[in-house]
Amino acid sequence: MKEIKSFFKLTLNFLFPPLCPGCEVYLGIKADPARLCPDCAAGLAAVAREHLFRETGRAGLEVLYSLGPYGTEPLTRLIHKIKYEQKDWIVDALIPALRDFLAKARLQDAVDAVVPVPLHPRRLRSRGFNQAELIGRAVGEILGKPVYGDVLKRLKSTRPQMSLAQSQRRKENVKGAFGPAGRTLNPDQRVLLVDDVATTGATLQECGRVLGGMGVKKIIGFALAA
């Protein structure tokens, strides 16, 4: 059976040459297409860092973690391919970097559950998946924590945050955009709120405000880039 699987993998790689998700360099006929090339993997490791954004008050985030700053490569390019080219499988290529970063940040002992930022149903139908949920599920699997996609829901179809230049406009854009979806959390549960990008933190802060209103006392944010 192992030999048959290996044969089919080589055949598929011959018909569809595996390229690095980051730079699209040819990886070799035996390569896993859901892996970064050594250069992109090294580049991602170089920008990966603990990025903090502190917010006071029960409704905000205690702290925000991210793999690195938005605009650095290959991180930003990978996010764009997931989000705008519907290449959801690229999340798998990020797992080694996520595993290293989450261990470094010691988040396994800091949270009890993972909650992804929801998409509006209209955008979810258009895209076919919620990238924040895919990232959240990868994070939850690494941390060994449950992932709840039914805690929050998107009430309004807002403009994309990246299309708004000013921080205040981004806050206004997402104000009142989220609400409880049905599942309740224990107030003692420590929640890791997950999104793909958090340049100003406005979306995560608004989701954190809703979670705070539901009684959750400890909310930590995580985004691939911030």
Q: Which of 85-99, 131-145, 164-178, 204-218 has the lowest mean pLDDT?
A: 164-178
Tokens at 210, concatenated = 């809703």
Q: Which fold has domain 43-225?
A: Rossmann fold (3.40.50)
Assign 32 a pLDDT band (cuts: 50, 70, 90).
confident
Neighbouring residues of 68: CB distance < 8 A, sequence distance ≥ 6: 44, 47, 48, 49, 51, 75, 225
Q: Tell me the whole-structure pTM to 2 decimals.
A: 0.86
pLDDT at res. 7: 43
**DSSP state for residue 199 in the 8-state scheme:** S
Q: Determine which helix (DSSP H) or strand (DSSP E) holds 93, and give its type and residue range.
A: helix 90-93
**195 in Cβ contact with 117 (< 8 Å):** yes
Does pLDDT of 10 surpass 90?
Answer: no
How close are the terminal C-alpha atoms of the chain, in Å? 44
Domain ranges of the chain: 1-33, 43-225
Which has more pLDDT, 27 or 158?
27
Which has more pLDDT, 199 or 167?
199
pLDDT digits (tens, 9 = 90+) for 149-175: 999 999 987 766 655 555 666 677 788
pLDDT at res. 201: 86
Half-sphere exposure of 29 (CA within 13 A, CB side): 7
Neighbouring residues of 226: CB distance < 8 A, sequence distance ≥ 6: 51, 53, 64, 66, 69, 70, 197, 198, 199, 201
